[in-house]
Amino acid sequence: MRWGTVAITGAAGTIGAVVRRALRPEAERLLLVDRAPLRPEAGNEEVRPADLRDEAAVRSALAGADRVLHLGGIPDEAPLPDLLGANVLGTHHVLEAARRAGIGRVVLASSNRVTGFHPAGHRTAPDEPVRPDGLYGVSKAAVEALGRLYADKFGLSVICLRIGSFEPEPTEPRHLATWLSPRDTVGYVRAALTAPETTRFATVYAVSANTRRFWELPDPAVLDYAPLDDAEVHAGGIPGADLPPDPAAPQAGPYAAPEFTLPHLAP
């Protein structure tokens, strides 16, 4: 019982469910925020239904929180108006609620897709220019920009996690570079929630210690977590894992293709 009250938006999602179970013994109270149905599974859990697009509902849902893990939103390619509402406006509502309530730490779920057009042969650092691979990546770039604004202008302590390919195990060749294991997901979240409040703003790639990874691991001075898992352990069971990747191809793989975004554009 070290962390006070932690609010998790998107608590009904795939990552939210994993993190919720892990944080349950460590938080005095968990506020589970989602528009999808949820039920408390422990005495220290409280369900607070809210649509992230509703500012008043978000403010009410986060009342009493000491820290916020913001996982909510649309997690993949979609029409831009939908992404702007759920991801960008929703994040604005979370940050604004945190500002008004004096919440000490906000952890924002960003995505590796913010930089998907960097080439696969280049190990990318979080301070390099964004190169979104689609409309979803654009929305997450805006999420990071909002976090930076609220840190610089209003003094919030904000950490953005550029989440890799969250899967129980890697199942395709690209995952050998991008995999984020459930164990490392929890490790990154713990580190981000508990980093010193002197960390005013940081962006880090949340990826396992994959031998073939595209991205730099966190500087311990920025986020003190060293991932434990490596997708290479699973390479023998992945068809095509032995084929050399094209170093000039986008890190995003199929997400960078026009065909991935065209269905979400107006005819």
Please identify every residue annotated as catalytic: 136
Nearest to 230 by CA among 185, 188, 176: 176
CA distance 193 to 212: 28
CA distance 45 to 51: 19
| Distance (Å) of CA 151 to CA 78, 126, 147, 201 | 28, 17, 6, 6
Structure tokens of 197?
Answer: 């409040």
Token pair 């805006």 is found at: 142
Continuous segment of H or E residues that includes residue 68: strand 67-70
CA distance 197 to 156: 9
Residue type, 266: A
Nearest to 231 by CA among 174, 185, 189: 174
Give me the torsion for CA of 253, 257, 259, 261, rounded to 10°: 90
